[in-house]
Amino acid sequence: MIATSPARSPASAPALTVKVMMVDDSLVTRTAIGRIFDGAADIELVCQAGSLDEAFAYLSAQRTDIILLDHEMPGRKGLDALPHMLDAARDAHVIMLSSYCQRGSSTAVTALSLGASDALAKPTSGEETHDFAEQLLWRVRRLAAARQSRRAEEAPVTLRLVPPDFAVECIGIGASTGGIHALAGLLQAMPPRPDVPILVTQHLPSSFIPYYARQVARMCTLPVSIAREGQALCPNHIYIAPGEVSLSCLREGGTARISLIERRDPLTSARPSVNHMFAGMAHCFGAGAMGVVLTGIGRDGTAGGRAIASAGGVLIAQDQASSTVWGMPGSLAREGLASACLAPADIPRYMATYCGVAV
């Protein structure tokens, strides 16, 4: 997820000290970031690595909570090193911090698809740095708080029984932080023709959506389009929620069509909203709706999930072990709404059982 504005609540700072490692070959940048963290009592900059070799050497012996990774590194690009860094860092969150990560850039979306939790552009020369510092601190604290909650003991989850004779007519997938990477794992395991329309809501600003849609198209063999108002839903087609507008659906006569909702979700303030998407699916497809909630911070998808469950549909939550943040899927599971908790690559096989197709 790319967050767009800092939270102002006192709860935004985690209770424990956050350990941050910075990987950037620029001494000027490392010094500037160090000054930002010097004023934050809850954040400790534990390592300033000037090369990827230094970073991997540190991670082989020490743990950190957050890694700030530059893309332009000597000898090897940050994007190329990102998957290996995620492996070396175990459960640390990576924020791609680069001048190449402007809103809507291919670098930012690619970083997210490879497993980065967030992406933020460095300020250019002469640009106001106060907003950058505020954004950086908020993102670090937000991800650290999510990491702490992931470590917390989770109560056993009770799975909801699948209604008898359930058959899928429409699939909706909702995600936030870590969701682009999770969606890639899901779509790459999808059957070539699931024979139902697929709606996708990923929390992203509108400037990222065109490149994100192209990225999704590369993940699978199905046609992909950014949803348009009134567009008829067709099987074997993926519809992406536009940024800042929620993707929902309605019926006109016997035809299911896209309905775009501009108002924010009153429960989560999310836009696009997974709740809006699921509520529309429940109304439009009833017992034929299947909702999937992938990794993400917060509870978006739970209220809409109740609507799908009440209509006789089925819900799937990403499991905790594979989630970057088990907020959204965890909320759905703890409410007893999920009929399965699975890793993204295992979800298509479960889906196929009710789509009448083989994986």
Residues involved in catalysis = 176, 203, 300
Question: Which stretch of DSSP H or E encloses residue 308?
Answer: helix 302-310
Cα separation, 74 vs 71, whole angstroms: 10
Q: Are 20 and 117 in contact (CB under 8 A)?
A: no
Closest to 178 measured CA to CA, from 236, 132, 222, 113: 113
Q: Are 242 and 260 in contact (CB under 8 A)?
A: yes
Cα separation, 130 vs 219, whole angstroms: 38
Closest to 173 measured CA to CA, from 29, 332, 50, 17: 332
How many C-beta neighbours within 10 Å does residue 207 have? 16
Q: Identify the sign of the CA torsion 247, 146, 348, 209.
A: positive
How many C-beta neighbours within 10 Å does residue 53 have? 13
Cα separation, 175 vs 160, whole angstroms: 21
* Amino acid present at 332: L
